[in-house]
Amino acid sequence: MALAFIGVPSPGESQVDAFREGNDYYQEGRFIEAVHAYRSVLGAGVESAEVHYNLGNAFFKADSLGRAILSWERALALDPGHPDARSNIELARSLTQDVVEPIRTFWLVDAYRWWIQWLPRPLLLTLAALGWLALWVGVVLGILARKRGVRRVASLLAVSGGVVAVLLSVNIAVREFGLGAVERGVVLSKVVPVRSAPTADDNLILFEIHEGTRVRIDERTDQWAEVVLDDGKVGWVEVGTFEVI
């Protein structure tokens, strides 16, 4: 599993040092120390897909499968196009005890997810900025130009830039504010009984799920959460058995 050596956004010097220290620990095979180093970066308020990605690698090498998947899922939440995090999750899920076959979703839902995850965040921001720039350059040029041909080019530039700017800006807004997103979590306990009601009555156990399984969280009380698996199974689990992505 390859490490990321860059990608800590706007860090202080101490966070950069901790990130590099974590990489050094990882390459030396000191995976627990690497976990502590990467966590110190996150604990300082620095959110980065690359830090979560490296943390997931360290957890995986330290035989903490659930937390590895959780960290890679968080990397994907920050950068949906992160190819290494996605491939690592697919590998790790093949090692989990639960075999969950996702329900086939409506094609519009798949298209929406593809659109949201289409571009990496840095490229998305750059293209959106270029779209707005093209829009305003086209508008100004159209106002100032005297030749009809130039005005046509300016109009085309403004319209094209405006379409790109609006579409990509909406994409950015959906990502940043989590519009339409559902709350998901990853099971961290080795074995978790799933019950038909939020109670500790073992007679109500429907089935069990295991470390590393991803769930959707629908309802929550102080002690219990109603979760839905990707295959549609529903039940209640104790809150402390999973962690939110």
Partnered with residue 242 across adjacent β-strands are 187
Closest CA to 187 of 120, 142, 238: 238
Q: What is the pLDDT of residue 96?
A: 92
pLDDT digits (tens, 9 = 90+) for 18-38: 899 999 999 999 999 999 999
Quickly tell me which residue has 């319209």 as its tokens: 159
Contacts of 32 (CB under 8 A, 6+ apart): 58, 62
The pTM of this model reads: 0.72
Q: What is the pLDDT of residue 197?
A: 95
Give the three-class secondary structure for 30: coil
CA R_g for the chain: 23
Q: What is the pLDDT of residue 66?
A: 96
Q: What is the pLDDT of residue 240?
A: 93
Cα–Cα distance measured from residue 112 to residue 116, given in angstroms and rounded to the nearest whole number: 6
pLDDT digits (tens, 9 = 90+) for 84-104: 998 999 999 889 988 887 777
- Length, in residues, of the chain: 245
Residues in the chain where the model's pLDDT stays below 50: none
